[in-house]
Amino acid sequence: MGTPFQISVNKVCLKHDEDLNFYCSLHDEILCRNCVKMGHQKCSPQISVSEIATKSKTSVSANLESNFKIMTENLKIALDHQRHTLSNMGEKEAEARKQIHNIRIRFNKKLDELEKHLLKTYTEKREPIVSTIKENIVTLEKKEKEIVLIITNTTKIKEFGSDIDYFLAARQVTQKLLDEEDTITATFEKLRGVNAYFTLNSDIEQFVSKLNKIGDVFVEEIPCSINMKSLIGEKKSTEKERQDTPIPEVKKVHVDKDEKGTPGDEGDIFKLKFVLKTKFEMTKGFLKKDLRICNGTIMKDQIVFTDRENKRFIITTLTGEHLNNMEVTGRPWGIAKIDESRLVVVTFPYVGSGYIEILDIMNNKVEKPISIGGLCRGIAYYEGLIYVVVYGKGISIVDLEGDVKTEIPINVNGVFHLTVNANRMYYTDEWTHTLHCCDLKGKEIWRFSGERVREPQGIATDENGNVYVTSYLFDNVTVISPDGKQHREILNKFDGLLGPSSIYYDNKKKYLMVSSREHGRVSIFHVLI
């Protein structure tokens, strides 16, 4: 712990042991006579300390009070941030525990399903054999009763009848037994033993033997996005810096560490303001089981979300009131609006080799299914053409009739989101933590990566060409200028974001909508441009 700061007024130069009588306005330093001779002869005019003290008393006092206030605010911001971070660690741990628990539930559920199927198969195979055995038992029991009756009657004739009666009876019984022999022989041939056993799937055996963990847990320090306010005044310069300092005045421009570029440029992203319009969390009326909100779009005064886990679309008002669920056969991922009234195009990456559908979302009707021939997720619509990410191929461009116009062969292994606007195509690569800007032929114009943009996911653009991208890892949204040279973190966890995955910008309403995949959180901001 540092030593408490003690204030002592020093009027003597520590270097030359002479009174501090002069002030250099160029370097903002208090000097003694020898200091002036040794390093400040070219600096003019020299002002006496008493004169500058009298003239600047008011401004010095004001600056000092401002610096006290700024320093206090900086400490408060840092303390609040660290206290919030400490509290947030509990939320992160709870989320990690929930994810681990959910994996266990999924494993158990799958094992229950497999066990149920296996036992059902056993029952189906057992029933015909059991039925045959029961028939044999009925036949044998009947014959057994007949034989017992014959034996009883024959015994009575032997004991109480004449020798002739017994002789004749014995011959008749013998013939009866010979006649029944064929029937009993046929029954014997139907007799079957049963051998029931179980063999383990070799894939499961290998899986269990190789499985030594269900995942990894990371707890790591990350850079924070808060910025210190600068105190009024300048740090004392070195002697070399004083000698190298040019006399003419130099204009200074302050550029924030996290906001690259010069504020005040045309189309400045630093002038953008974001006012929270509404926020809601999908809970009652929404859940069948865990939500997986992959993407969303605004149509008139409604929002349409793709819920991958529950194979449906969720339709709400702009304030989050639940209106309807539209069930579908596949697991929807990406969604792009074709018109304002009803039509959207959606990717279904989990059925067969992947396909897309043009849907009348308001009337729950499939207008046209289109086979893509590969696993597909990210999708965009622009001027009559559909742009879709197809794994193993790149980005396919398809018309509304389903005809492939062209394919752009780029590596899309880590690409899950894209958008197209103003003759430019943008996509995020989660694996390389980059945002790419290309022309419509796939030629790269610029790419962007930043310390606070890790695992970039959802992407959107506004009418000025500004690009908005979500960072799932850092719980934030960053805006990038149209030329890719400036960027600014505009929203983060302090604005209520948690694991933001998708983002959508409505040009007419000037709304920026951010949603979370696992948590069902939705925030809509009014963008003031």
| pLDDT range class, residue 261, cuts 50, 70, 90 | very low
Give the CA radius of gyration of the chain: 41
In this model, does residue 353 exceed pLDDT 70?
no
Q: Which residues have C-beta within 8 Å of that of residue 28, sequence separation ≥ 6? A: 233, 234
Instruction: Give the sheet arrangement for strand 434-439, strand by strand.
Output: 415-421, 424-429, 434-439, 444-448
Three-state DSSP state, 297: strand
Percent of the chain at pLDDT exceeding 70: 83
From CA 271, how far away is CA 263, in angstroms rounded? Answer: 8
Residues 288-324: tens digit of each pLDDT = 556 788 899 999 889 999 988 888 899 999 999 989 8
185: its two tokens: 């022989």
In the prediction, which pLDDT does 241 show?
42
From CA 487, how far away is CA 24, in angstroms rounded? Answer: 39
In this model, does residue 269 exceed pLDDT 70?
yes
In the prediction, which pLDDT does 14 show?
85
In this model, does residue 285 exceed pLDDT 80?
no
Residues 485-520: tens digit of each pLDDT = 999 999 998 888 988 999 999 999 999 999 988 778
User: Do the Cβ atoms of 140 and 187 come closer than 8 Å?
Assistant: yes
b/e burial code for range 235-271 (CB count within 10 A of at least 16 → b): eeeeeeebeeeeeeeeeeeeeeebbebeeeeeebbee
Identity of the residue numbered 152: T
Residue 152 CB-half CA count within 13 A = 6
In the prediction, which pLDDT does 36 show?
83
Residues 227-258: tens digit of each pLDDT = 555 555 544 444 444 444 343 332 332 333 34
In the prediction, which pLDDT does 201 show?
81
CA dihedral for 510, 516, 459, 306, sign (positive or negative): negative
Residue found by looking up tokens 């903002």 in the block: 28
In this model, does residue 208 exceed pLDDT 90?
no
| pLDDT range class, residue 226, cuts 50, 70, 90 | low
Torsional class of 455: left (φ above 0), alpha (ψ -120 to 50), beta (otherwise): left
CA dihedral for 14, 16, 22, 23, sign (positive or negative): negative
Residues 161-207: tens digit of each pLDDT = 888 888 888 888 888 778 777 777 877 777 777 788 788 887 777 77
DSSP structural state of residue 288: S
Instruction: Give the sheet arrangement for strand 335-337, strand by strand.
Output: 335-337, 343-348, 355-360, 365-371
| pLDDT range class, residue 386, cuts 50, 70, 90 | very high
31-45, 122-136, 371-385, range with the lowest pLDDT: 31-45
In this model, does residue 283 exceed pLDDT 90?
no
Look up the pTM and report it: 0.53
In the prediction, which pLDDT does 15 show?
84
